[in-house]
């Protein structure tokens, strides 16, 4: 049960009581979630909370904090509540139109950057850009790159464009609305094509956590009956859009390595590369090159 209600609501008391409350509601990472939400309400960094322990937030600030805590307990992801998520050195605006960036996807960005780093003015294509976290991170890290980012959702592209402007790469990232390769000009060729496509099998939706299933966009999650629909289409369509020796990097679900490698291996224009593991040692990125 939550601790007794404090008589004075200092920052220290708010953190302690709310952490205990979220734990009682089985919210994962209760302490971190509490700190993130309170820092958001107070307009400060998390680290600042600990030097302000004895301060008493105003009633208005406490009311806003209570509202966010109630929404968090109801299943709303913290990233949507505060409107941002940190990813690969940058902070990205997020809202329910886009998938919340995951740390696992940083594996894809890191591997793509290794390939791009020695290239002069490389061209990159990001399929299903969502918040723009992959495209913008690559443009931010590789200053002479030109990135094309595609998404079928106009609302997602609105978020991605704001993120590109925020991080000073809007002049080097071109956003196109459409389905995979559909809006990309015929004859375009890229040094690297990246994608974190929807890969949840329709039969697996019931197993997802409520905060993902009920709040994140199904459009960005639904990979068809077996979760492989987008991999099939990317494998079949990528050839003309890769330069000779150009690289394809696909994020995968941890159980999909063999299936996705099989799809790419069946394409005569592609040569399979290694599968890259994430920090948890799970297979995370399948790679291939154009012959």
Which residues fall in the annotated binding site for substrate? 196-199
List, as one string, the DSSP characters of the chain: -PPPPPSS--HHHHHHHHHHHHHHTT-TTHHHHHHHHHHHHHTS-HHHHTT-TT----HHHHHHHHHHHHHHHTT--HHHHHTEEEETTEEEE--TTSPPP-GGGHHHHHHHHHHHTTSSS-EEEEES-TTSHHHHHHHHHSTT-EEEEEES-HHHHHHHHHHHHHTT-TTTEEEEESSTTTTSPTT--EEEEEE----B-GGGGGGS-HHHHHHS-GGGTB--TTS-HHHHHHHHHSGGGEEEEEEEEEE--TT-HHHHHHHHHT-TTEEEEEEEE-TTS-EEEEEEEE-
Which residues does the annotation place in the binding site for S-adenosyl-L-methionine?
Answer: 128-132, 151, 196
Cα-to-chain-centroid distance, residue 24: 28
- Token couple for 117: 């780093």
Which residues does the annotation place in the binding site?
Answer: 128-132, 151, 196-199
Residue 154, CA atoms < 13 Å, CB-side half-sphere: 0
Contact 151, 130 (CB under 8 A): yes
């Amino acid at each position: 049960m939550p601790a007794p209600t404090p008589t004075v609501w200092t920052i220290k008391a708010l953190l302690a009581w709310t952490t205990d409350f979220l734990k009682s509601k089985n919210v994962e990472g209760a302490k971190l979630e509490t700190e993130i939400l309170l820092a958001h309400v107070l307009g400060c960094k998390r680290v600042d909370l600990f030097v302000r322990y004895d301060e008493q937030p105003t009633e208005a600030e406490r009311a806003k904090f209570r509202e966010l805590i109630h929404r968090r307990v109801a299943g709303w992801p913290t990233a949507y509540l505060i409107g941002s998520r940190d990813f690969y050195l940058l902070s990205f605006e997020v809202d329910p139109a886009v998938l919340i960036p995951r740390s696992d996807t940083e594996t894809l960005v890191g591997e793509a950057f290794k390939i791009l780093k020695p290239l002069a003015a490389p061209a990159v294509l990001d399929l299903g850009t969502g918040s723009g976290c992959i495209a913008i991170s690559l443009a931010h890290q590789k200053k002479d790159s030109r990135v094309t980012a595609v998404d079928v959702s106009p609302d997602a592209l609105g978020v991605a464009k704001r993120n590109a402007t925020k991080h000073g790469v809007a002049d080097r990232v071109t956003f196109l609305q459409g389905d995979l390769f559909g809006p990309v000009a015929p004859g375009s060729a890229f040094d690297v094509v990246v994608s974190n496509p929807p890969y949840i099998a329709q039969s697996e939706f019931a197993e997802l956590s409520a905060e993902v299933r009920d709040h994140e966009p199904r459009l960005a999650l639904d990979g068809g009956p077996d979760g492989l629909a987008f991999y099939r289409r990317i494998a079949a369509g990528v050839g003309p859009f890769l330069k000779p020796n150009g690289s394809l990097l696909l994020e995968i679900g941890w159980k999909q390595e063999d299936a996705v490698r099989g799809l790419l291996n069946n394409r005569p224009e592609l040569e399979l590369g290694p599968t890259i593991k994430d920090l948890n040692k799970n297979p995370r990125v399948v790679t291939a090159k154009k012959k």
